[in-house]
Amino acid sequence: MFNAPDAMPAGRVAPAALDSLSREILELKRSLNAVILAHNYQVAEIQDVADFVGDSLGLARQAARTSADVIVFCGVHFMAETAKILNPSKHVLLPDLDAGCSLESSCPGSKLRALQGTNPNFWTIAYINCSAEVKALADCICTSGNAVKIVNAAPKDRDLLFVPDENLGGWVMEQTGRPMTLWKGDCYVHVEWTHAAITRIRQLHPGAPVVAHPECPKAVRMLADEVCSTEKMVTWCRSTPAKDIIIATEAGMLHRLKKECPDKNFIPAPTDRCACNECRFMKMNTLEKVRDCMANRTPEIQLPPEIAARARVSIERMLEISGRD
Ligand code: 13P
Ligand code: SF4
């Protein structure tokens, strides 16, 4: 039914190997004609029951093309909202409605509107990690997987305003040479990695390349051999001859990488202050909550139709520019 080069088709775990809860979820999936989409940061057992596991871009593409009646979105709120915007008539379930994102909460629509009002020549690019209201105020959406492409395609005569991640925005400015006004938001997980912590782990594993997410601060990105989205981490790690690879992103990524590259050794980059490389929002979803949301058909994402319609224009523009496959 689907062909997803940018996401991992599941079904790699034999049904007999699944526990009873996972089997119950697969049974509910059949009866609801549902598709289960999971982000790379979800806990291992959720990734293992999902139809597709991928990054924000891959999951948005899957949501845009699905023929299922119900989308069970195992990720955070803005991701499920994106799926609903692309599928207004379908049921989109999120196992825990409180699964938010520090980037999303850093950028309320009212404050963005006020900033936009200061320069009528602004052309606003919103990282997908934002609310539907902010998407509705943006000219185009981007993800970490296509941000460079989106900025390169932006009108040359406009002043670019990039919200809400100043680290991703800074990295894109470095890649494209295009100046942008940056919103001062960040991912509370990725800013925990420091130059000192990465330098220390490199010394312990000489020769191991470092792969970092662009939400990391510049001091960390400068030390990385590759800076990319979570899905591109999979393709990069597959193709590098290196056996030991240091990963600076959320801990759930390790499960996906180990599955895709079983012959490689992935070393989670340590943070300085604590072992805080887990996103508490991503980890709000559990297998039990996945089962319950399917059994009860709630919590369900609901959106004001006029906001959804406007946000859809910006998301569709992104999909047109970056390709739907
Ligand atoms: P990706 O789109 O690279 O998976 O990133 C999403 C995210 O929330 C990173 O923190
Ligand atoms: Fe948001 Fe950071 Fe969690 Fe990603 S890891 S969902 S950016 S808080």
Protein residue with least CA distance to atom 5, ligand 2 = 279
What pLDDT score does 9 carry? 55
Looking at ligand 1, which atom is closest to the CA of residue 230?
3
285 Cβ below 6 A of ligand 1: no
pLDDT digits (tens, 9 = 90+) for 56-87: 999 999 999 999 999 999 999 999 999 999 99
Protein residue with least CA distance to atom 6, ligand 1 = 56
Mutate-to-test residue for ligand 1 from 52, 55, 102, 148, highest number of ligand atoms within 8 A of CB: 55
Protein residue with least CA distance to atom 8, ligand 1 = 129
CA distances from 167 to 75, 99, 127, 250 (A): 21, 22, 11, 16
Q: Nearest 10 degrees: CA dihedral of 120, 126, 130, 131? A: 50
What pLDDT score does 17 carry? 63
Looking at ligand 2, which atom is closest to the CA of residue 78?
6
Give me the phi and psi of 66, to 5 degrees please. -70, 145
The full length of the chain comes to 325
Residue 279 has pLDDT above 50, yes or no: yes
Partners of 175 in beta bridges: none
What pLDDT score does 15 carry? 57
Looking at ligand 1, which atom is closest to the CA of residue 129?
8
What is the rounded average pLDDT for all residues in the chain? 94
What pLDDT score does 4 carry? 37
Residues 6+ apart with CB under 8 A from 176: 148, 151, 152
**In the predicted model, what is the mean pLDDT of residues 249-273?**
95
Partners of 244 in beta bridges: 265
pLDDT digits (tens, 9 = 90+) for 27-40: 999 999 999 999 99
| pLDDT range class, residue 271, cuts 50, 70, 90 | confident
pLDDT digits (tens, 9 = 90+) for 84-97: 999 999 999 999 99
Partners of 182 in beta bridges: 162
CA distances from 296 to 70, 133, 157 (A): 12, 27, 50
**DSSP single-letter state for residue 270:** P
Q: Nearest 10 degrees: CA dihedral of 9, 10, 14, 20? A: -160
CA-only gyration radius of the chain, Å: 19
Q: How far apart (Å, rounded) are the C-alpha atoms in residues 164 and 137?
A: 13
Nearest to 20 by CA among 50, 53, 51, 49: 49
106 Cβ below 6 A of ligand 2: no
Query: Coil, helix or strand for 300?
Result: strand
285 Cβ below 6 A of ligand 2: no
**In the predicted model, what is the mean pLDDT of residues 185-201?**
96
C-alpha 316 to ligand 2 mean position (Å): 23
34 Cβ below 6 A of ligand 2: no
What pLDDT score does 14 carry? 58
C-alpha 49 to ligand 1 mean position (Å): 20
**In the predicted model, what is the mean pLDDT of residues 253-264?**
98
What pLDDT score does 324 carry? 76
| pLDDT range class, residue 121, cuts 50, 70, 90 | very high
Protein residue with least CA distance to atom 3, ligand 2 = 279
